[in-house]
Structure 1
Amino acid sequence: MNVELQTELTIRYVSPEDTNVAASLLYQAYHDDPVLRSVLDSSNETKFETKLRALIREELSSFGHGQQPMIGLYEDDRLRAVACLIEADSELQAQRYWHWRLRLMMSAGYLQTQALIDKESAIREALAPCGHYFFLAFIAVDPHVHGRGFGKALLQGLEEMIHDVPAASGIGVFVTHEKHQSFFAHLGYQVHDILEFNKVRGEVMFKAIAK
């Protein structure tokens, strides 16, 4: 896939050599995520940041092993935004690889790992009525280019990609920040359910993809 949006912007699968850049963008984007701060215990900032880096590293590894889409928006071959998708009923969606769980337990802790798996299961259950959906597990935009519409362009590219999957019904996402909820709502996502994890409330939002 290589969708050209403008003369200098393209959307394509993230190349292996850009994995570290993708990890950095995700770290910056999710550093203040209230659910992750609660689950990974942010009382000790140094330990929290170590656990967050480990989580992102293992997540990206599991996406690679599970052959699930990691899509990037590039500006002149520089990765500016990244999105990680999980297809419903995929092996990655149905059951995390045992080696992913083991490595994450060793770095983030058993209780934290189990809490993240429980969160994923609850979101999956909430989205079950949506059919064969794609779940937007992570999305991040380079903070140096915020306000330039890169996030919107990336999501539009994802919708084009999913439109070409015959069985795909749409895209789901779980958001906790009000500004992110407004962002997705503006792009046509609707509130599908409300969930709470570790006393942090969030909205499961869904956008159906017209065929």
Structure 2
Amino acid sequence: MSADIHLLDSAHAREARTLLYQAYLHDPTFTYLFESERPGYEQRLRATIRALVDQHFTQEQPAIGLLLRDRLIAVALIAPPQRRLAITDSWLWRLRMLLSVGVGSTRRYLEYQRTLLGSLPPGAFHMLPLLGVHPQFQGQQHGERLLRAVHDWCMADEQSQGLVIDTGNSRYLEYFRKRGYEELGQIAIGPVVEHVFFYPIASS
């Protein structure tokens, strides 16, 4: 049975939080940002995912998901070009982060975002701040179908020049390259090498 593509809203926030927490639990960038070697890592990661997802839906930013028998199995949060800083610039989001994950983790996450955005060339790019497939459904081409749906959605915006995604997980590098993503460059996030990829919507 194939999964259905849906534009998500706040009614899916809880499922999205759970799925993305599982997807990013062992991500190299997030394990560094939120200090996986220190007690409380899972709580800090869960709180960060909750703050990001809730703020994303509160600001009515777009999100696309795959639903299988009404179960969310994959999700992509999309940041339009004109709203890439909308969440992390929010004083409410920063306050929630400070109270739930602490000053150090909040500062590292904000620096990561600034470094990432500073590495991009000028232009109207969509970004994928969070993207994940439920671990039980990985390796079944759901991620590829989700990306195609995101590409189609971004193409509907005549102002968009493309889509940017970044990853510090080496297992995904060849995956993105094979799907038409060009590597813009690399940035250092502590000991992690973050690869920044671009998908040119205009030429797709």
TM-score range, shorter chain: over 0.9
- For residues 29 and 158 of structure 1, the distance between their equivalents in structure 2, rounded to whole angstroms, comes to 18
Asked if structure 2 preserves the Cα contact closer than 8 Å seen for 1:72 and 1:81, the reply is: yes
Residue 50 of structure 1 corresponds to which residue in structure 2?
43
Residue 29 (structure 1) aligns with: 23
Q: Compared with structure 1, are the counterparts of its residues 95 and 103 closer, same or farther at alpha carbon in structure 2 (3 Å cutoff)?
A: closer
Structure number with higher relative contact order (C-alpha < 8 Å, ≥ 6 residues apart): 2
Partner of 1:77: 70
Identify the match of residue 118 of structure 1 among 101, 106, 111: 111
TM-score, length basis structure 2: 0.93
SS at match of 1:113: helix
Q: Match for residue 176 of structure 1?
A: 168
For residues 165-210 of structure 1, what are the alpha-carbon distances to aligned partners after superposition, in whole Å with 9 as ceiling and x for unaligned?
Answer: 0101111011111211111111111110110011211111101102
Contact 1:71 1:84 in 2 (8 A): yes
Aligned partner of 1:11 in structure 2 is 5
Aligned-partner Cα distance in 1 for 2:60–2:119: 24
Deviates more, 1:83-92 or 1:70-79: 83-92
Question: How far apart, in 1, do the equivalents of 2:148 and 2:188 lie?
Answer: 28
Number of equivalent positions: 203
| In structure 2, distance between residues paired with 1:94 and 1:17 | 19
Q: Percent identity?
A: 28
Query: What is the alpha-carbon distance in structure 1 between the residues aligned to residue 84 and residue 31 of structure 2?
Result: 27
Report the AA paired with residue 155 of structure 1. L
2:52 corresponds to: 59
What is the CA-CA distance between 1:14 and the residue it aligns to?
A: 2.0
- Secondary structure at 1:42's aligned position in 2? coil
Q: In structure 2, give the amino acid aligned to 1:19.
A: A
Root-mean-square deviation (CA), in Å? 1.7
Contact kept, 8 Å, 1:170 with 1:209, in 2: the verdict is yes
Q: Secondary structure at the match of 1:127?
A: coil
Are 2:32 and 1:38 equivalent residues in the alignment?
Answer: yes
C-alpha spacing 1:94/1:144, structure 2 compared with 1 (3 Å): closer
Contact 2:13 2:54 in 1 (8 A): no
C-alpha displacement of 1:67: 1.9
Residue aligning to 2:178: 186
Residues 25-68 of structure 1 show CA distances to partners (whole Å, capped at 9, x for unaligned) of 111110011121112111234x0000000000000111012221
Contact 2:80–2:126 (Cα < 8 Å) also in 1: yes
Q: What is the aligned partner in structure 2 of residue 90 from structure 1?
A: 83
Deviation of 1:11 (Å): 1.3
Gaps of 5+ in 2: none
Structure 2 Cα separation of the partners of residues 90 and 210 of structure 1: 20
The offset of 1:93, in angstroms, is: 4.1
Secondary structure at 2:140 match in 1: coil
List gaps (5 residues or longer) in structure 1: 1-6
Maintained 8 Å contact 2:52/2:87: no
C-alpha distance in 2 between matches for 1:144 and 1:177? 19
Further displaced range: 151-160 or 181-190:
181-190
